[in-house]
Structure 1
Amino acid sequence: MSSAASHATSSRPPASGAFGWLPIPAPLARLFKRFPLLTYPPNQLPARCPSPRNVATLYVFLSDRDALDGLPSYNPSCLRWQTFLKLAGVEFRVVSSNNHASPTGALPFLLPPLDPGNAAAHPPVPSNKLEQYAAERGASKVPDVPNPKLEAYESLLDFRIRNAWLYSLYLSRPNVDLLSRLYIAPVSKSRAVRTAVLYQLRHAAENEILRSMGVPAVDSRTLYAGAREAFEALSIVLGLEHWFFGASGPSLFDATVFSYTHLLLDDGLAWQDRRLVEIVKQFPNLVAHQGRIWQKFWGTTR
């Protein structure tokens, strides 16, 4: 090929419809001319959905629908921090999630809002750092309750009440429908998968109870008796006060108590084994405490 022919070939414009150097076959080119490709713009977020750039995002156990409405999580650990952030005046939205999506393997965790002046990604905030985050970012100061017996009362929630909660939700046969609705049905429609998840959840709950109590077998009567003693102790320390330990407003401890009492008193959960529910109802001041937090920080009643 002559140099002139070579130059003419190299300077020839690409065929119509070509992507770079590779031309589209003639039949496809004719097809695209008759039916051109059209790329639609992305859908807008719902108006009620805040931009993740402007507001923190708290990932919790919750249905997608309830997350859109900002309703309480059905998990005590998540509800504790969801409530505490409200007490501290932190602006946030909630997103339905699970432990597998968490950087720490447990919920909740929080993603801070993006700073327009700093493109660097903000690391997620695990639950054990949410109190510090709220102190730095919250609009309200949460009362500190340096009571010498605070640790003892916290242990009642972390062990006696939590163990009874685990038994009631995960191991009590009458509550299997509630357990399935909250934690199993959202995972899969497969019966085999649901059966496996049910076994795993029950096995994990039983092991946690046994490890916590240091006993070889789970005894529901012992668990419920221990929970009753714990709620009675909480009722005594609350007394006629609005908030625990006579604080000027609700503290993290109030949020922790609320995380259990609210879920037990919430008729929407439809507990079938109601032994733990009835225990809470024996203490009117704890019921009133739950109502005060609900009305003050959630703005409505259910």
Structure 2
Amino acid sequence: MLTFSYRNSIRIMKYLPVCPKPKAVGLSNIPRDEPTIYVYNHITKRVEPLFLALAAPPDPPIRFFVDIKVTRPEIFADTQTDVKDSVFSPGLQEKWSRHALRRKILERASRLLTRFLMANISRYNFIPVFVHDPRSPEEDARRRRINREAFQDCLTSLEANIPVAIAPSGGYTHQDSTKSVIPTTLPSLAELLQKRGKILRIVPSVIKERPQVCHGTYKKYIADRILPYRLCRLLLDRLKIKRYERPRLTVEFLPPVTFPYCDSNKDDKVRFVQHLQQIMYDVLNKE
């Protein structure tokens, strides 16, 4: 299976119109040679890490937390379902499922894309975490072990000044203020680093999609990256023949914040995460 390194993957996506390309804002706010963790908002809940990687400095490569589904062969079927739902719209899947040949093409394409995704992710040095609900006591014990190892792996990377990226609420959108349980991984990491004599710089990274990237708008984002198409549409717009509103995708890096406590309790950590979520929510909704 053909694979690419993290840096080469970023180069391909930056220079070839294979995915939406974000505009980076506030790059000067990103610390260098310090323990740094990017926190980003979820909109589509699938591709924000890709946009963050394209906008942030490529060196050193960011270590993302990634669902264990896409790193372990034993749950290939679940990963293939996720990939198929991400790439092919429900309408297309329903239409093609009525014909045996098209259904077979769809399944084989999904399988090939899943194998390609899993092979490349294994090269990116991501941090696998167990985020789905355990189905048995044995799986729950496995979840605890994997997430404990992920936490330690993340801590080791930060101590070596290798940046890490995480959603502040553990994989859910920061707009979900009604979530009853708020993960406190982020302040826990900051507190441990403080005890080891290091200050964790937390960079809120706000991803704005206008319009939201989805099956219906993906082609519009890709077409806008093709210069002749964009110039033609802009000319038609200038001549008032056909209006063209360019899609806008930006990643805004806000000034870094730090966790103010060295010996905190659970309430302190929850308040900090909620404060961080609110900062990002305010910027996301400010035009």
| TM-score (structure 2 length as normaliser) | 0.32
Q: Which has the higher contact order (CA 8 A, sep 6+)?
A: 2
Give the number of the structure whose alpha-carbon radius of gyration is greater.
Answer: 1
More helix by share: 1
More strand by share: 2
